[in-house]
Structure 1
Amino acid sequence: MSVDVGRDAEHYLAVLLRVVPWVTLPIATVIAVAQPGQPGTDRAVTLGLAGLAAAWVYVAYTRASEERRRRTVPMLVYVLGLLVLCVALMVRDQVFLLFTITGFFHAFLLRPWQLGVAGVLATSVILNTFTMGVPQPTLPSLGTYLGVITIQTASIGLGVALAERTTEQHRRRKEMIARLEATLAENAGLHAQLLAQAREAGVVDERQRMAGEIHDTLAQGLTGIITQVQAAQRVWDSSDRAREHVDRALGLARESLAEARRSVQALRPHQLEEAHLPEALGDLVRRWARDDGVAVRFDVTGDPVPLGPAVEVALFRVAQEALHNVSRHAQAGRVGLALSYVTDEVLLDVRDDGRGMAVDGGHQGEGFGLRGMAERVRGVGGAMQIESAPGEGTAISVRVPAVPVAAP
C-alpha cells in the first residue's frame, strides 16, 4: 500500500513540475504584452525574452530524459538559467512573478536536498526583492523582508527535503521489490531444476528397483526351479519322489511368473490411466481386501487435487508395495490406509496390526521392497518413515510435495 502511495505522489509531483511553467509563462506573457501604451519594440523584447524562457524550459527540462533529470549538474545549470530569465522578465514587467514561482517548484529537481533549499532561497529572494523592493536599512524593513524570505524558504524547503526522502524511500522499495522478484524467479528456476533432477533420479531409482526386483524374486525363483529339477533328476527312478520335486519346481515357476507380471505392471499402473489417485487407491484397496480377506479401511482427507504423474505413480506404487508386504509378511487382521491433502503436501499412511519387524532409525534395513519404496519417494522430492516393532504392527508414512499436474 505504501509503495502505491509513494508511486502516486511521485507521479503527481512530476506532472505538476511539467505543467507549471507552461501555465504561468503564457498567462504572464499575455498580460504583459496586452497592457496599452507600450511601444512595439517593448512588446517585441518581452515576447523575445518569453520565447527564450520557453525554449530554455523546453530544451533543458521538458525534453530532457529521466536519467538527465536525476543528475545534479544538468539540473543545477537549468535552475540557474531559469532564475536568470525570471530576473530578466521581471525587469520587463512584474507580472512575470507568476512565472518566477516556477523556481519554487523546479527546486524539487535539485539533489541533494540542500541544493533544492538553496534554489528555493534564491527564488524567494528574487521574488520578494522585485515585489517588496530593496529593504531600507531599518529594523522593521529588514525584519519584514528577511522574515518573509525565511518563512517562505523554510516552508517550501521542508517540502523539498521531504520529497527527496519520500523519493529515496520509494526508490529503495522498488529496488527491494525487484530483488525479491529476482529471488522468486531464481527460486522458481531452482525448484524446476530440482524437479527435473528428481525425475532423473526417479528413472535411476526405477532401474535400480527393477534390478533388485529381478534379483530378489525372479533370479531366486529360477535358482529354486533349477535346484528342484536337478533333485528330480537324481531320483527319477522313484516317480513319487521325482513328482514331489517337479511339483515344487512348478510352484516356483508360477510364483516367478506372477512376480514378473507384477514387476512389468509396476512400470505403468493402468489404474491411474483411468482415474486420479484417490479413485485408483480405492480400487486397489477393494481388490486387495477381496483377494486377501483382510479388513481394510481407506480414508481421504482434504481437497483432492490432480497431481503430476510422477507423484501419483509414486504414491500408488508405495501403497501397492505396502499392501503386498502386508499380505506376504505381516499376518495382519486389519489394515488402514489414509490419503491426506494439505496445503502444499500429500501424505500417505499405511498401518497394519501384524507381527511387525525390527527397524533402525525409522528405516527397514532388509528387503529390497521397502528400500525401493523409499527410493521411489525420494525420486519425487518426498520422504518416507517406517515405525514398527516385533508384535506391534507396522506404520509407513509418506510425505511428498503436492506438485500440480500443470506444473513444469
Structure 2
Amino acid sequence: MTSWIRWQDSLWPSPDDGGSLWRPWSGRVEKYLPYALLALSTVLSLVISGHDPVTTLGLAGIAAVWLLLTFTLIPKRWAEHPVVVAVSFAGLVTIAAVLEGHDTIFLIFMITGFFDAMRLRPAPLALAGIFVVSALINTIPNGGPVRAFADQPALWTVVTLVQTAAIGGGGLVSAAMARQHAERKRVLDELAAAQEENAVLHRQLLSQAHETGVLDERQRLSQEIHDTLAQGFTGIITQLEAAAEAKGDPAEWQRHVGSAMALARENLTAARRSVRALGPQPLAAATLPDALGEVSRQWSGRTGVEVRFTTTGTGRALHPEIEATLLRITQEALANVEKHAAATIVGLTLSYMADQVTVDVRDDGKGFEPNAPDARPAGDGGFGIPGMRARVARLAGTLHVESEPGGGTAVSADLPAIALEARA
C-alpha cells in the first residue's frame, strides 16, 4: 500500500508538497474549468443541437448545483478528504453521463471527469476513475458502454486503456515538473538564506577584527612608547641632570646637553614613526594594487632589491579591513626580506579570485627553517610571522610560509574577498 501511495503522490502531488504552482489543473483553472466546460456545452447544445431546452437547462442546472455543493462551497478541511472526493467524482460523472446521453455535445463537460479522477486516493482508484471516464466519454455516443463493449470489446478496451495511460502519464510528467520546481525553489531559498547568514557573519567578523585590530594597535603603540619614547625621555632627563651637575665644567656640560638634544631628536623621529604606523597611509588615496605598487617601489628604491609586482584577476574595492591587512602583511614580509633574506629579487603578486584574495611575497634569499624556534624573528616595530598569522586568522584567512635554507622564502596570505558594500 505504501508504494501505491507514493506512486499516487507522484501522479498527482498534494498542495502541501509544493506542487501547486505547477499542477496543470490547479488554482484558478481547477476552480473555474468545470463551470466553463459546462457553460460551453450548454450553450452549444442550445444553439446547435436543437434538443429540448428545458431538459438541457434542467440537467445543466443540476450539474452546476452539484459542483457548487461538492467542489466550490465545501469547507477546505473536507475538500481533499478521500471520501468527499470520491462522492464528488461519482456524482459529477453520473450527471455528466446523463448529459452526454441527452446530447453528445456534453462530452465536452465529461472531460471534467478526468481532472476530478486525478484527485482520487489511493492510486488504483484514480486510475479506475480515469478508465471509467474514458469508457463513458467514448462509448456513450455509440450506444453506451454495455453495448459498445459487447459489440467491439477489443477496440473499446484498447482505446480506453491507451487513453487512461496517456492521461495518467501526463499527470506523472506534470507532477515530476512540480516536484523539480519545488525542489529548486527550496534549494534557492536555502542558498539565499545561507548567503544572507554568511554576509551577517562576515560583517560580525569584520567588526570583531576591527575592534581587535584597534586593541592590537594600542598595545603595540603602548609597547613602542615604553620601549622607545619612555626610555628616550629617561635618557634625556639623565643627561640634563648630569649637565646641571657639570656647570663648572663647560666642556662636560656641553657634552651632556648635546647628548640630551640628540636623544630628543631621536625620540621625535620615533614618535613620528609611531604616528605614521597607526594607519595604512598608502591606502588613504589609492587602490590596493596602486598602494602595493607604491610600497614595493619605495622599498626597492631604499634597499636596492628588485621587486617584480603583478596583479591577476579582476581588481575590485574590498572591505577596508581586508585591504589594510593585506597591505600590512606585505609591508612586514618585505621588512623581513630586508632584514634576513639577503635577496636580490622579490616577487610580489596580488591575486583576485571569485571569493578570495591572495598576496604572495617570494624572495630568492638565503631562506630559513620555518620550524626552527628562532625562525624569522619579528623586526623592530613589526609583528613577525606569528603576528601576521594571527592577524590573517582574525579575518577567517590563512597564512602559508614556505622556506628552506638556501632556497628562498614564500609568504602567502589568503583572505575572503569581501566586497566594499559588505561593510557594516
TM class by smaller structure: 0.7 to 0.9
Contact 1:364-1:386 within 8 A present in 2 as well = no
Q: Which of 260-269 and 368-377 deviates more?
A: 368-377
CA shift in 2, pair 1:389/1:88, >3 Å: closer
The residue aligned with 1:345 is 356
CA shift in 2, pair 1:386/1:260, >3 Å: farther
**Does residue 117 of structure 1 match 2:130?**
no
Shift of 1:142: 4.9
Deviations 1:297-336 (A, max 9, x none): 2412214322222222223333444555666x44846463
CA shift in 2, pair 1:333/1:236, >3 Å: farther
Deviations 1:70-116 (A, max 9, x none): 77565444433321321332343343223112212333344554342
The residue aligned with 1:50 is 60
Contact 2:348-2:359 within 8 A present in 1 as well = yes
**Does residue 310 of structure 1 match 2:325?**
no
The residue aligned with 1:3 is none
The residue aligned with 1:201 is 212
Q: Which amino acid aligns with 1:297?
A: V
Contact 1:136-1:142 within 8 A present in 2 as well = no
Q: Percent identity among equivalent residues? A: 39
What is the root-mean-square deviation of aligned Cα atoms in Å?
4.4
The residue aligned with 2:279 is 268
Contact 1:359-1:388 within 8 A present in 2 as well = yes
Shift of 1:276: 1.6
Residue 419 of structure 2 is aligned with which of 384, 400, 404?
Answer: 404
Shift of 1:347: 3.0
Q: Which amino acid aligns with 2:397?
A: G
Deviations 1:351-381 (A, max 9, x none): 5667777754797555561245444434444
What is the alpha-carbon distance in structure 2 between the residues aligned to residue 387 and residue 153 of structure 1?
Answer: 71
Contact 1:297-1:335 within 8 A present in 2 as well = yes
SS at match of 1:274: coil
The residue aligned with 2:137 is 127
What is the alpha-carbon distance in structure 2 between the residues aligned to residue 248 and residue 140 of structure 1?
Answer: 129
Residue 45 of structure 2 is aligned with which of 21, 32, 36?
Answer: 32
What is the alpha-carbon distance in structure 1 between the residues aligned to residue 45 and residue 225 of structure 2?
Answer: 102
The residue aligned with 2:100 is 90
CA shift in 2, pair 1:168/1:76, >3 Å: farther
Deviations 1:136-192 (A, max 9, x none): 699755555545444443443343344444434443343333333333333333333
What is the alpha-carbon distance in structure 2 between the residues aligned to residue 237 and residue 331 of structure 1?
Answer: 52
**Structure 1 segment 169-188 matched on structure 2, within 5 A:** 169-188=180-199
CA shift in 2, pair 1:263/1:81, >3 Å: farther
Q: How many residue pairs get matched? A: 398
CA shift in 2, pair 1:50/1:282, >3 Å: same
The residue aligned with 1:213 is 224
Give unpaired runs (5+ residues) of structure 1: 1-5
**Structure 1 segment 293-332 matched on structure 2, within 5 A:** 294-302=304-312, 303-323=314-334, 329-330=339-340, 332=342
SS at match of 1:118: helix
Deviations 1:37-93 (A, max 9, x none): 76xxx5223213213424554676579999998775654444333213213323433
CA shift in 2, pair 1:378/1:149, >3 Å: closer
SS at match of 1:267: coil
SS at match of 2:412: strand
Q: Which amino acid aligns with 2:219?
A: Q
What is the alpha-carbon distance in structure 1 between the residues aligned to residue 370 and residue 231 of structure 2?
Answer: 25
Contact 2:38-2:60 within 8 A present in 1 as well = yes
Contact 1:56-1:82 within 8 A present in 2 as well = yes
CA shift in 2, pair 1:70/1:311, >3 Å: farther
Q: Which of 277-286 and 299-308 deviates more?
A: 277-286
Q: Which amino acid aligns with 1:10?
A: W
What is the alpha-carbon distance in structure 2 between the residues aligned to residue 137 and residue 52 of structure 1?
Answer: 27
Q: Which amino acid aligns with 1:370?
A: F
**Does residue 384 of structure 1 match 2:399?**
yes
What is the alpha-carbon distance in structure 2 between the residues aligned to residue 252 and residue 34 of structure 1?
Answer: 115
TM norm structure 2: 0.73
The residue aligned with 1:99 is 109
Give unpaired runs (5+ residues) of structure 2: 1-17
CA shift in 2, pair 1:10/1:373, >3 Å: closer
Contact 2:346-2:362 within 8 A present in 1 as well = yes
CA shift in 2, pair 1:252/1:170, >3 Å: same
Q: Which of 268-277 and 20-29 deviates more?
A: 20-29
Residue 283 of structure 1 is aligned with which of 276, 290, 294?
Answer: 294
Contact 2:232-2:264 within 8 A present in 1 as well = yes
CA shift in 2, pair 1:25/1:361, >3 Å: farther
The residue aligned with 1:336 is 346
